[in-house]
């Protein structure tokens, strides 16, 4: 089965990733639009469960999935999800720790690289391969380092440490339009706090999926998150009209 078309970033040669981000209005690297901007973090997903869990998430409306690499079978699960992904979907890996792992994810058909930390060598390799990269940042210095190396968005991790007030303060100094994804402690009932502070997307892990969960349970939780996002984003959309 051939993989469905998914978002692909512009070739790295179009915008050299070594150029610093000097604009305070339009960052040169941005993620494709995701609706909803919710990333399923499927840590410990067995390869044999990937198709069923992926179907449940896609049917619920999720359009971004990552399988962290620090559990067995992650690459096989990514390959299965990438092959069945609807058009306009990002599938890839989390907990990516080295350029070699970036290469392995690309070989499995993944297009999204998410890290818990800011490692310029990982970002550089992802950008060079034409993959989307969202590294984790814990300080403003790490945020600007990640952007300078071509990161397409920033993962605020752990989000419990940042808090909405910390996110708001960081957003104020970043280039306008920089995608910000809180990860850690995100729940359906606190999305509004984060979006009010400036979050543009979310990584959702244990609140959505834990090893052993069946596809029906994951689908139910996924629908709750999508409904919560719609309720959160509707007032914002109305205020912009």
Active site residues: 66, 155
Positive or negative: CA dihedral 8, 91, 89, 193:
negative
Q: First-to-last CA distance in the chain?
A: 43
C-beta of residue 185 within 8 angstroms of C-beta of residue 167: no
The residue among 185, 32, 12, 157 whose CA lies nearest residue 95 is: 157
| Phi then psi dihedrals of residue 162, to 5 deg | -65, -55
The residue among 114, 58, 109, 117 whose CA lies nearest residue 87 is: 58
């Amino acid at each position: 089965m051939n993989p469905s078309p998914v978002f692909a970033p512009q070739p790295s040669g179009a915008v050299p990733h070594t150029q610093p981000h000097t604009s305070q209005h339009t960052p040169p690297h941005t993620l494709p639009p995701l609706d909803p901007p919710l990333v399923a973090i499927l840590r410990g997903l067995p390869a044999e469960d990937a198709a069923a869990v992926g179907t449940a998430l896609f049917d619920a409306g999720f359009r971004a999935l990552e399988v962290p690499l620090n559990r067995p079978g992650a690459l096989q699960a990514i390959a299965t999800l990438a092959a069945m992904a609807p058009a306009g979907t990002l599938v890839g890996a989390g907990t990516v720790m080295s350029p070699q792992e970036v290469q392995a994810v690309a070989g499995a058909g993944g297009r999204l690289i998410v890290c818990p930390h800011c490692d310029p060598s990982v970002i550089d390799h992802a950008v060079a391969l034409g993959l989307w990269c969202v590294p984790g940042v814990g300080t403003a210095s790490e945020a600007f380092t990640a952007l300078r190396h071509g990161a397409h968005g920033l993962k605020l991790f752990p989000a419990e440490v940042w808090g909405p007030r910390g996110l708001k303060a960081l957003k104020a100094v970043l280039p306008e339009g920089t995608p910000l994804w809180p990860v850690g402690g995100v729940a359906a009932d606190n999305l509004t706090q984060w979006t009010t502070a400036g979050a543009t997307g979310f990584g959702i892990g244990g609140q959505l999926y834990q090893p052993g969960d069946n596809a029906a349970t994951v689908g139910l939780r996924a629908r709750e998150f999508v409904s919560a996002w719609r309720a959160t984003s509707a007032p914002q959309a109305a205020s912009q009209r």
